[in-house]
Structures are given as structure tokens and as C-alpha cells.
Structure 1
Amino acid sequence: MVTLRQLVSPKGQVPRARYLRVGLSLFLFKYVVDLVVYRGLFGDWWGPLDYLSPLYSQRMASAPDALDLPIAYAAFLLLWNLIFAWIGANWTARRAVDAGETPWWGLMIFVPFLNYLAIGVLALMPSTPKGEAPPVPGGSAAAFQLPVLLVWGMTFFLAMACLYWTIVEMNEHYGIALFLSFPVLFGVLIGYSLNAREFQSVGRTVGFSLLCAVAASVILLSASLEGLVCIAMAFPVISLGLMVGALIGRSFVGMGARRPLQPLGMLFALPFIAWSDANLPTSEARQVTSSIEIDAPPEVVWENVVSFPTLPDPTSWIFKTGIAYPIGARIEGRGVGAVRRCEFSTGAFVEPITVWDAPRHLAFDVLDQPETMTEWGLFGPVHPPHLESTFRSVRGEFRLVELPGGRTRLEGSTWYELDMAPEVYWRIWGDGVVQHIHGRVLGHIQAISEASSE
């Protein structure tokens, strides 16, 4: 029986038979938990071949209704997978040490296809007498000096800038490599460097990785590569990757890891990971629906759905950040083929009507859309590529349901595509923004409909 402490500890030899036995048991345990939870939520199965795909995004895209995961379950999936990645890296590094190799082998777990190759090779390598190296003793806080923080922040910025250009500018994709793989890898280097001379506590290691994330964020803002809101949105997932990586790097020190330049070769794998994510099939559009009950008959509500006058200035905090918000709507023509223009703070959505069933159902496609937000840096507006390409509204509809007493339930739905990964994280933001937009529009229609029916 293996305890959780043994799984995450850097101490102890891991012979190949134990490596295979524990690894297979952990895989089966994780698969069964994922399968049971998913089956309970959606009544469908996650096929083992899809589940074994080395690409995380492909596994999620292959799962039935992958984009309909509840927000709480999506957050659980992200944390759940990072925990098992940490255990896998630690267990693989200890197996490598037992086989007389460097603990840096543990980083192979994060590289698609190479992870299975590394597991296969280590499963065949016999143990050697020099299996375990003693941990580095000590506990100095010297590594927290400001110059060290600045050096790491600058290094993180330079590496992120190069990776940003390679991944975003060439592939036009914000994915796993940028938001998870790179932070984990750089976190490993941070954790290793911090603990190499004097072994630090877990809290100090995690805290220093977060300070590096803050320093890098300030530098990105100062260089106008990204805006404040975008960095704030990405900070939780990037920080999580940095913390996991830093703890892995700390464990590698305890295993006797040397030659810190070796893992830098893993940087060459990041463009491959980015290319793999960018060339996956586009996920199906996700539907977000909101509703409101209005004290007015459907005939009155319908006219205010088709077009409505200018909305008052927004009061919701989310629209104060620069995220685009609706201002008004007008329509050119009547019936199917008419064109509705929904004006936002950044421009207009052009919406050709596809269903006109007055006063019950109005549906439309989205032919053109403005930028998703006005983003600001420290020295004025910035214009990163994701403002135009990562969030796409594809269609929408309004359904009016007549209620007793001359009332109406108005349901508004939006279908959108999200070209960012991990989707289970970015969907939390996407759904939240769409729901706030729905609330602003539906609330305005409610107010003017009830006022006109009095």
C-alpha cells in the first residue's frame, strides 16, 4: 500500500516493478473516478482510447459533451490533472534516480508522446547501487533577496516574450503550452534554483514562485505586451502551474538533481505542444442561456427584443474593466433575412435573422463582431491578438414563453467558440461574461416592456 506522502516525497527508491505497479494502479484509479463522475453528470462514457490520448486538449475534445461541463467540475478537472501530473513527475524522477539516471527525466511527463516513451524506457531499466541521493540540508532565506527576485522576474519575462512570439504570433493560439506547460517548466527551474544551495520550506518555495509571477506580470505590463485585465484573468492558472513546478523542482533537489541546464532543452518541446494544440479540431460552440420573467404580454416584449433603445451606462463591475457591453439594438427589415445590429461599446454585432416567429422565437447568426474588450496597460491601450481571435460569438436566439396573467418568460441564448486552452479554465470567464451581457440586455428589455404596458 502506497500513501500519498510516499507519492509526493522525494525520498525512497522506486524499482521498475513497483514503478509499473503503482503507476498502473494510479492510472486505473484516476480513470475510474473520472469515468464515474462523468457518467453520473452526463450519462455517457469516456472511452479508454480517447482518455489515453497524450494531448490533454484532444482528450477533452474527444469526451462527449466536453464543453457542457459544469463550472465546478471544470475547475475540479484542472486541479485534479495537475495533482496527478505532479505525482507522475515525482514518481518518474525517483524511478530515474533508482536506475542511475538524472531526476530531470521526470519532466518528460509533461511532453506529449515523449511521456509514454519515457515511461516505457524507465520500466525496462534495472536498478543500480547508486539509486538514491541524499537531500540537500539547510534552510536559509537568502534566496529571497530583491536582486534574486528581479533576476528571476526578468528571466521569466524574456522567456515568456520568446515563447509568446513563437506560440501566439506564429500559431495564433493561446493554449496549454503558454498557460500550463511553460509555467510548470519554469516553476521547476525556480524551485530547483531556490533550493539547490539551501533546502527551503514548502511555503517559502511556493511563495517565491508567486513573487516571480507578480514580477513577470509587472514587466509584461510595462512592456505593453498584455493588459491588466488579461493578466489578471491568466494569473490564477499560470500561478498554479508555477507553484506545482516549483514543488517538483524542490523535490528534484532532494533527489540529488544536478546540471540545471539539462531541463532547458524541454523549452524546445513547447512549440511542438503549442502546434499540437493549435491544430486540433475546433470545439463545438458552447451554449449559455439566461432567462427573466416580465410583467408584459409576449406581443409587447417581442417589439423590444427585435430592437431596443440605448441602454443606460453599466453599473456592473465587470464592464468597468473594459469588457465590451451592449448599448442598443436596431434592425433593418422584417422577417427572415433582415439584419439586426446589436451595438456594443467596442462596435456592432451584425446579426442576419434566421428564424422570425413573432412573438415566440427570434434567432440569428453572427456575421461580424467587434473586439471583445478595450484593454489597457500601464501607459495606455494595448492590442494583443486575442482581442480579435479567441472568443467568437456564432449565433443567438430569444424565446418568449407566455405565462398566466399576461406575463412572459424571456429566454436569451448565445452560442460561442473559445480558442483558448485549457478550455475548462477559460470557459469560467467566457460563461461569466456572456451571462453578465445577458443580464444587462434582458433587464433592459424587462424595464422598457413593463413601462410600455402600464
Structure 2
Amino acid sequence: MRDENHRRPWLDRLIPQSKDKAAFVVAVIAAIISVFAISATINFSGQYGFGMFLGIPFMQGLLVVLLFGYRKERKLIECLGVACTSVVFLSLMLLVGAVEGVICLAMAAPIAITFALLGGFLGYFIQKRTRQATAGAIVLLAMLPLGAWVEKQGQTEPPLTAVTTSVIIDRPKQEIWNQLVTFNDMAVPTDMLFKAGVAYPVRAVIEGTGVGSIRRCQFSTGDFVEPITVWDEPNLLRFSVEKMPPPLVELSIYDDLQLPHLENYFVSERGQFKLTSINERQTILEGTTWYRHKIWPRVYWQLWSDYILHQIHFQVLDHIKMQAEGVQ
């Protein structure tokens, strides 16, 4: 039985009687509160972590369902639907408010929707018992930026992650090495992420030879400056990363959208090309990138970063393969 003794006049005025109108209003309200929570998290702590990608969506899903069920108990499917709708409204607000761009919103969507649904699922059961929880959910959502700051204080340096991609080339190592140290313009990639604005390689040149020479790899967003640390012709070319361009150009309704996470949140530290002979005419060419990123949960975002790096590697390795084998 619902508790009718704790009605709140301000909620009575705010939430319409109509189910459809109520769903729209509460979805917008929860989205607006989440926009402020996300903006405060970014400005207060600079933290793109568990609080932002798990806590805020979860509390948003919980809050919107508690508001939706304020007047009348709602069905589970209705609760989950309004939770998803609120996340869509949140994404549109972040886009229009220049808080985020399309690419990062799309990447965050799976985890955000999942936790919003979990919050909505919990809200479905809570709505049956009390309306008292609504104010508590609002307070908890508003406090998440402080939680993000606390989270940041307890974090250590993110681990160094290696991503290795390989191809087999029907040429001996020396012929491949000659194509490896410098290569001309590559074809524009067809992957949708690159078309949307994720950085992709264009060409590479090396100034000098041997250890200490500088490799410049031009990407669609700028140049990597990579001092050579190992020059073992024709076996291994290793380099550090002295300078790197932005990892992407955000797709947005605004020109040149500058976001905090586009600088120093994904850092490539070093890379290498390794050649291993299979026989006199075949060689395995491996490309490896070592990187760190400061966005959590690491397991989720590593799926995206590893996928993108593999696609970049394939773009380079396949180009070298075609050049070495004489395929145009």
C-alpha cells in the first residue's frame, strides 16, 4: 500500500496527472539535474570516472522512475522506458550545451544506458514503498561531483597498456624495412569512427637515421613527434612519443569544440615495429603501441581504445604490406 501521508506539494504541482506528460516532464527534470552533476564533476574534479559513467546514470535512472511513480505505481517496462528516455534527453542537452560531442556520447551510451536501466529497475521496486526516497535520490545525485573528487584523490597512475597488431607480408625483412621507415599518403579509412572524427594516420617520415632520429607521423588531427630509441635494421624500430595531437575532433553542432578529455586523458607513450622472418619470402610485421588513459572504468574504455588502436595499426600495416608487395 502506498504512503499517502508524505505527499509533497511542489511535486504535486510539478508532475502532471497524464502518464505521457508525466514521463516527459520527469525525464527532462532528471536529465537537467544530471547535466549540472556532470558539469560540476568536470569543473570541480576534472574526473572522468566511475562517478560520471556509472554513478550519475544509475542515480538518474533511479530518480526519474521515483518521480514517474510519484502519483501512481508504474509498470516495469514503463519505468525502464522513461529511464532510457531521460538518458536520450541528457545526451541532447550535453550536445547542445557544448559539454560533449557526438563521438564520446556514442561511446558512453552503452554503459550509461545499462546503469540507467539498473537505477530504473531499483526505482521500480522502491516506488511501491515510499515517496520519501525521491528527495534522497536528488540529494545523492547532487553529491556525486563531490564523490568524483574523492575518487580522484584515491587514484594512482593508470597502468601502461600494450596493443599489438600483426600482418604477414610476402617479402623478406629488408624490403619491408625500406617501406617501414617512411611511407607516403595512405588511403582514407572507411571505419565509421574515423569518418566521425577519430584521428587516423596519413603519412610518416623520418628525419635522419639511427637512434636519435625523429619520426614524424602525420595524423588527421596533427603530428606525432617520435624520437627513435631502437634502430635495429631490419628487425626492430622502436620510438618514444614526445608530442601527440588530439585523439579526435569531436563531431558537434559547434565548430572547433574543445573538451577537457581531449588533452592528456589518453596518452601514447611509445611504439614499435617488429619484423620476424617466417621463411626467406615471408615476414610477420607487428605494430605495438603502449598507452595510458585516465578515464574509468578502465575495463570498459579499454575496449574502445584497444579497438581504435588496432584499426590504426591495420591502416598502417596494410599500407606497408601493399607497398612492399607492389599492390596498388
TM-score where L is the length of structure 2: 0.89
Deviation, 1:157, is 4.0
1:144 pairs with 7, 14, 20, which one?
A: 20
Between the aligned partners of 2:151 and 2:174, the Cα distance in structure 1 is 47
1:260 is paired with a residue of what secondary structure? helix
Distance (Å, rounded) in 2 between the aligned partners of 1:155 and 1:268? 13
Counterpart of 1:249 (choices 123, 127, 130) is 123
Q: Residue 191 of structure 2 corresponds to which residue in structure 1?
A: 316
Deviation at residue 381 of structure 1 after TM alignment: 4.0
Aligned residue runs from structure 1 range 48-447, under 5 A: 142-145=18-21, 148-149=23-24, 151-258=25-132, 260-267=134-141, 269-279=143-153, 280-447=155-322
Q: CA deviation at 1:450?
A: 0.9
Cα deviation 1:165-210 (Å, max 9, x = unaligned) = 3221232221111111111112111111112222122111111111
SS of the counterpart of 2:326? helix
Provide the secondary structure at the position in 2 that maps to 1:421: coil
What is the letter of the counterpart of residue 375 of structure 1? Answer: E
Distance 1:429 1:403 in 2: 32
Q: CA deviation at 1:259?
A: 5.5
Residue pair 1:157, 1:220 contacting (<8 A) in 2 also: no
Structure 1 spans left out of the alignment, 5+ residues: 1-101, 103-140
The superposition leaves residues 268-317 of structure 1 with CA deviations (integer Å, 9 ceiling, x where unpaired) of: 54133212332310121111100000111111111222111111222222
- Judge conservation of contact 1:176–1:273 (CA < 8 Å) in 2: no
Distance 1:259 1:291 in 2: 54
- Give the residue type in structure 2 aligned to 1:384: L
Deviation at 1:221, TM superposition (A): 1.6
How far the C-alpha of 1:261 sits from its partner, in A, is 1.5
Tell me the amino acid that sits aligned with residue 200 of structure 1: R
Instruction: Indicate if the aligned counterparts of 2:179 and 2:323 stay in contact, CA closer than 8 A.
Output: yes
> What's the Cα RMSD here?
2.3
Partners of 1:193 and 1:249 in 2: how far apart?
A: 9
**Aligned-partner SS, 1:271:** helix
CA separation of 1:303 and 1:170: change in aligned 2, threshold 3 A: farther
Q: Which runs of 4+ in 1 moved over 3 A?
A: 151-154
Query: What residue in structure 1 maps to residue 10 of structure 2?
Result: none
CA contact (8 A) 1:144 1:208 kept: no
Distance of 2:237 and 2:45 partners within structure 1? 37
Going from structure 1 to structure 2, the CA distance change for 1:259 and 1:308 (only over 3 Å counts) comes to closer
Provide the secondary structure at the position in 2 that maps to 1:434.
helix
* 1:94 corresponding residue in structure 2: none
SS in 2 for 1:355: strand
Tell me which protein shows more helix as a share of its residues.
1
Mark the CA change 1:409 to 1:318 in structure 2 (over 3 Å): closer, same or farther: same
Unpaired runs of at least 5, structure 2: 1-5, 7-16
Structure 1 distance, partners of 2:37, 2:95, is 16
Relative contact order (C-alpha < 8 Å, sep 6+): which is higher? Answer: 2
